[in-house]
Amino acid sequence: MSEGNVATASWFMASEAATEAFGANLGTLLQSGDLICLSGDLGAGKTVMARGIGRGWGTPIRVTSPTFTLVNEYPRPADRLILYHLDCYRLAVDGEIADEFEVESTGLPDFLISEHVVLIEWAERVAPYLPAERL
């Protein structure tokens, strides 16, 4: 499947535990500067996947949804890298694309050029502002 020039993939997990475990395995593979984009319906398990990613990546803090704060930061003590976790659900009205001002207000442009790891829920709402190279 593809969206424009971006290849996409989807997975079905049988349980919340399986989703978190998959995320934890993925988290162990992440490197400085990686960008992970999650999309799916409400309740699809994006935050559960993010929680697993954070655990596997190495943050000691339990990952929670940044729906109201828009961005949560999770440091990794081993190397002081940060996992920036964004939830872009509220950035766009009626599922449309967020405008440039909204995107800039989250700090996303700065996060994307940093050495840190960026994880975005509802990434389709900010897709025009993202680099093509992402997971």
| CB atoms near residue 100 (< 10 Å) | 12
Confidence bin at 5 (pLDDT 50/70/90): low
pLDDT in tens, 24-37: 999 999 999 999 99
Please write the tens of the pLDDT for every residue from 81-93.
999 999 998 887 7
CA nearest neighbour of 119 among 55, 1, 7: 55
Delineate the domains of the chain, giving CATH numbers in brackets: 14-129 (3.40.50.300)
